[in-house]
């Protein structure tokens, strides 16, 4: 859906896709010179690894659900996700860490 039927068919038939075209169509989020590929990949991986695990998982779910839902359905689902996060151990730990002026130790619970 994101790239259109024609592009999807080209990919399904094994036609190569240049990096510039993948970036332009939204299949790639970054376009970097070849010699910067691993440093950029590591930077992205480190960023993702540093995110609160539950919040990151629910954010991914929200984006995936929102792509195929009405605004109302997506907003209701987001409200549920937000309320679910409010009940987690990680939320309590994050707030305590903020009060203690330290980095939180998040466990994904």
**In a shared domain, residues 60 and 88:** yes
**Residue 74 banded pLDDT, cuts 50, 70, 90:** confident
Q: Is residue 25 part of a domain?
A: yes
**In a shared domain, residues 31 and 66:** no
The pLDDT value given to residue 43: 96
Q: Is residue 44 part of a domain?
A: no
Q: Is residue 107 part of a domain?
A: no
Residues 31, 73: contact at Cβ < 8 Å? no
Residues 18, 41: contact at Cβ < 8 Å? no
Average pLDDT along the chain? 89
**Residue 99 banded pLDDT, cuts 50, 70, 90:** very high
Contacts of 48 (CB under 8 A, 6+ apart): 56
Q: Is residue 31 part of a domain?
A: yes
Q: Domain containing 27: what range?
A: 5-36
Q: Is residue 106 part of a domain?
A: no
Report d(CA 82, CA 79) in Å as an integer.
Answer: 5
Residue with tokens 């299949």: 27
Report d(CA 61, CA 77) in Å as an integer.
Answer: 10
Residues 77, 69: contact at Cβ < 8 Å? yes
Q: Is residue 105 part of a domain?
A: no
pLDDT digits (tens, 9 = 90+) for 20-58: 998 988 889 999 999 999 999 999 999 998 888 888 888
**Residue 86 banded pLDDT, cuts 50, 70, 90:** confident
Number of domains in the chain: 2
The pLDDT value given to residue 1: 67
């Amino acid at each position: 859906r994101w790239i259109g039927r024609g592009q999807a068919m080209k990919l399904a038939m094994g036609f190569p896709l240049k990096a510039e075209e993948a970036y332009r169509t939204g299949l790639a989020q970054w376009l970097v010179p070849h010699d910067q590929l691993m440093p950029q990949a590591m930077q992205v991986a480190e960023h993702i690894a540093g995110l609160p695990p539950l919040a990151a998982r629910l954010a991914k779910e929200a984006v995936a659900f929102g792509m195929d839902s009405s605004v109302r359905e997506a907003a209701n689902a987001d409200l549920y996700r937000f309320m679910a996060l409010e009940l987690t151990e990680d939320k309590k730990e994050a707030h305590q860490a903020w009060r203690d002026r330290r980095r939180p130790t998040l466990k994904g619970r």
